[in-house]
Structure 1
Amino acid sequence: MKGPSVVQCPSAQPAMPGAVIHGVVDAASGKIQHLSTPEPVTPELLAMTAPLLPTQVLRISAPCQGGACGHFNGTDCTLVDRIVQIMPATDSALPSCAIRANCRWFSQRGRAACMRCDQIVTDEFVRDEQMASLTVPAGRATEQ
């Protein structure tokens, strides 16, 4: 018998408890290629991304940190709200995704989040001002 589902943040850090890799950045397109089955984060997998940061190459999910996260307003993830407001949809069909059933972004914004998810790289290799503006938690000034 399965235990209760844990809501997953789809753009987590590798050191977070319960972290799994659910996607890899396609170098040619810059978009996320979703894995059919999430892989546990291991030091060996993280080392394979060198000299880049793991979060420049991998999409990692982990249990939502709720109030411990600067993007959480007590009820919702404000990051996915900004993503849906600012980023264009890239697909008309839902991409395959192994974490959708427990994804915070999908449970909060549905298809609209999924249609933008493949554009989100936790730490971009090349700075994109639009993406940088999304990642600043609500109520905080952007860093220069």
Structure 2
Amino acid sequence: GVVQSTGTVDFLAAPLAVTERFSELAHQGRMPEARFRFSAPCLRSACTKWQGGCGVAERASALALQHDLQADPGNIPDCAIRTRCQWHAEHGAEICVACRWVITERATTADG
């Protein structure tokens, strides 16, 4: 997805392969992680965030509940990876609302 200035992610309608050319272009300017959110296959127990399920998804789900972000299952954003998404497999459509807020790097300002 593409990270917006609001801190949310706009999902792509179709997967975009990270090619060498994409990488070259993405490294111009800010760090790619501050501009894009990338996905990769879930590593399950080989990942440090795995806790019998995805720890990142669990935290995102808890924060969504805390901030009263609720999904309308009939109106969730289009997502190119939903059919193979570990978060969706574990949490269903509810995670799709929280997912838009999960980014790797927050933009920093001169004030820090």
Aligned twin of 1:33: 10
Q: Secondary structure at the match of 2:37?
A: strand
Separation in 2 of the partners of 1:126 and 1:68? 31
Task: Give per-residue Cα distances to partners, 1:1-50, cap 9 Å, x unaligned.
Answer: xxxxxxxxxxxxxxxxxxxxxx11123x3321111111111232123233
Task: Give per-residue Cα distances to partners, 1:77-116, cap 9 Å, x unaligned.
Answer: 1111111112332764311101111100000011221011
Structure 1 residues 91 and 47 mapped into 2: Cα distance closer, same or farther (>3 Å)? farther
Q: Percent identity?
A: 28
Task: Give per-residue Cα distances to partners, 1:121-144, cap 9 Å, x unaligned.
Answer: 1222239xxxxxxxxxxxxxxxxx
Runs (5+) with no aligned partner, structure 2: none
| Structure 2 counterpart of 1:124, from 98, 106, 111 | 106
Q: Secondary structure at the match of 2:101?
A: coil
Runs (5+) with no aligned partner, structure 1: 1-22, 128-144
Report the TM-score, using the length of structure 2 for normalisation. 0.79
Separation in 1 of the partners of 2:35 and 2:79? 17
1:55 aligns with 2:33: yes
Conserved in 1, the CA contact under 8 Å of 2:11 and 2:80? yes
Question: Whose RCO is larger (CA < 8 A, sep 6+)?
Answer: 2
Paired residue total: 103
Write the letter of the residue equivalent to 2:42: C
User: In proportion to residue count, which structure has more helix?
Assistant: 2
